[in-house]
Amino acid sequence: MLINLDQRDKRPIYQQIEDQIVRLCLLEILKEGDSIPSVRQMAADLSINPNTVQKAYQELESKGVIVTVRGKGNFIGDISAIRSVRESQILLNLHETVSDARKNGIQREKVLSVVSEIYDEKESLEKDHIIASYDNEKGEIQHD
């Protein structure tokens, strides 16, 4: 699993782990039923306290993103609900941003051009980078 921790990030470490696992699910790098490292393994791989990983896993489990099967491990759960909630959040943010752009006199064509550029190029490049990193590392977890 590819997890990158950024010590400069203002979010707590557990939240970075949580957000990145959700992101890997939304990008379909992790799929329903895939196993994820144990709390101890993840903590050892990231050189962090197991309680931090446990907190991230508890948050993910409460949202249905992961399922813990006693004696078997942790697995990716049904992410359709998370996808729906995340999509709603993103669309709300986009609506607010576009409204702000319109109120500040930014032309429609400019906004559409920027959105199109970001959607077509940057998202594709980001996903390709993550997939390539994951393939190259074959499950290794990275951190900064």
pTM summary value: 0.67
The CATH fold of domain 1-144: Arc Repressor Mutant, subunit A (1.10.10)
Using DSSP, state whether 10 is helix, strand or coil.
coil
Residues of the chain with pLDDT > 70, as a percent, come to 83
Give residue 114's Cα distance to chain centre: 23
Residue 79 structure tokens: 């992410």
- pLDDT tens-digit series, residues 46-104: 999 999 999 999 999 998 899 999 999 999 998 887 787 778 888 998 999 999 999 99
Give the pLDDT band (50/70/90) at residue 28.
Answer: confident
pLDDT at residue 15 tops 90: yes
Short-list 69, 91, 66, CA closest to 79 = 66
Using DSSP, state whether 65 is helix, strand or coil.
coil
Give residue 81's Cα distance to chain centre: 14
Catalogue the E-assigned strands of 34-82.
Answer: 35-36, 66-69, 73-76
- Average pLDDT on 28-44 reads 94
- 73-76 β-sheet, strand order: 35-36, 73-76, 66-69
Residues of the chain with pLDDT > 90, as a percent, come to 58
pLDDT at residue 21 tops 50: yes
Say if residues 25 and 84 touch (Cβ distance below 8 Å). no
With residues binned 3-state (H G I as helix, E B as strand, rest as coil), the percentages for the chain, rounded to 5, are 60, 5, 30
